[in-house]
């Protein structure tokens, strides 16, 4: 059925809202028996790529051109590492980080959906490494989001944050989940030098981006450029939850 050109999606200089009715699926190098929905990429001005991969049973994904973070949205998968005889089992809420060039093969046991963030790594100047003997490069990690202890944002118990990457300056970006009780909201309009990629996982609410206000719900994707005014409030009878990326731990001059 035609929607007569209507959509909630919007594209502005400092932000992008993509709703599922406007998603386009495309093949991706390194992905077999699957398709990629590329939500944001450098042509927008973003310094990273964020995608949702839809993978058929027995479909596979191998390493990409940069460091990578992945988060399982739906389905069951197995992750093989070089030199390891037993694969890791991944299910919804599982996530992994791979340094640049880290060989791996992700195989879908059932049809699966996986959020993927790819970003060129910015090495940390040795001047800023606190432990002279520390490895200057980030390391592979595998975990589950429900196993991360939540922290109340600014002391508000209605807004819980789980930090999925280690608290280390070695990593040049952060990925969190943020969960809002019905009626909870950010305590301020945020304006800062970091950019964001955001995938709504559950529930919905109202997002202010720039001078526009958007109803948002599970399945929507948002990109926010540096210094884009941003604010979110949850609406509805169920919690709202999203997965959010930001560049982090680096001096603004590089």
Task: DSSP letter for 124, please.
Answer: P
pLDDT value at residue 2: 67
For residues 37 and 23, the answer to whether their CB atoms sit within 8 Å is yes
Instruction: Check if the beta carbon of residue 79 is closer than 8 Å to that of residue 71.
Output: no
pLDDT tens profile 163-199? 999 999 999 999 999 999 999 999 999 999 999 999 9
Average pLDDT for runs of 10 along the chain of length 254 = 85 98 97 98 97 98 97 98 89 98 97 98 86 80 98 97 95 98 97 98 98 98 98 97 96 86
Show the CA angle centred on residue 125, arms to residues 122 and 129, nearest 5°: 115
CB 116 within 8 A of CB 72: no
Q: What is the pLDDT of residue 56?
A: 98
Is 197 buried (19+), middle (13-18) or exposed (0-12) by CB count in 10 A? Answer: buried
Q: What is the pLDDT of residue 128?
A: 82
- 135 vs 133: CA distance, rounded Å: 7
**Burial class, 131, CB count within 10 angstroms (exposed 0-12 / middle 13-18 / buried 19+):** exposed
Of the candidates 177, 104, 178, 166, the residue with the CA atom closest to the CA atom of residue 138? 166
* Greatest CA separation for the chain: 62
* Cβ(205)–Cβ(218) below 8 Å: no
* Model pLDDT, residue 133: 66
Cβ–Cβ < 8 Å for 233, 184: yes
Q: What local confidence, expressed as pLDDT, does residue 29 receive?
A: 97
């Amino acid at each position: 059925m035609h929607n007569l050109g209507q959509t909630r999606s919007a594209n502005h200089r400092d932000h992008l809202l993509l709703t599922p009715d406007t998603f386009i699926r495309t093949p991706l190098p390194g992905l077999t028996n699957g398709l990629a929905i590329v939500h944001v990429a450098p042509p927008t001005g973003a310094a990273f790529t964020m995608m949702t991969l839809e993978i058929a049973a027995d479909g596979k994904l191998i390493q990409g051109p940069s460091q990578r973070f992945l988060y399982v949205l739906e389905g069951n998968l197995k992750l093989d590492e070089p030199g390891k005889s037993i694969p890791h089992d991944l299910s919804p809420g599982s996530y992994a980080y791979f340094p640049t060039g880290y060989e791996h093969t992700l195989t879908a046991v059932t049809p699966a959906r996986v959020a993927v963030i790819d970003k060129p790594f910015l090495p940390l100047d040795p001047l800023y490494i606190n432990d002279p003997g520390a490895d200057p490069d980030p390391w592979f990690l595998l975990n589950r989001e429900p196993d991360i202890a939540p922290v109340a944002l600014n002391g508000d118990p209605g807004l819980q944050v789980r930090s999925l990457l280690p608290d280390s300056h070695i990593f040049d970006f952060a990925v969190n989940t943020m969960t809002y009780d019905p009626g909870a909201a950010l305590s301020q309009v945020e304006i800062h030098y970091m950019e964001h990629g955001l995938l709504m996982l559950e529930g919905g609410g109202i997002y202010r981006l720039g001078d526009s206000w958007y109803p948002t719900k599970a399945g929507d994707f948002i990109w926010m450029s540096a210094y884009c005014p941003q604010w979110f409030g949850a609406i509805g009878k169920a919690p709202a939850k999203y997965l959010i990326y930001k560049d982090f731990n680096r001096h603004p001059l590089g």
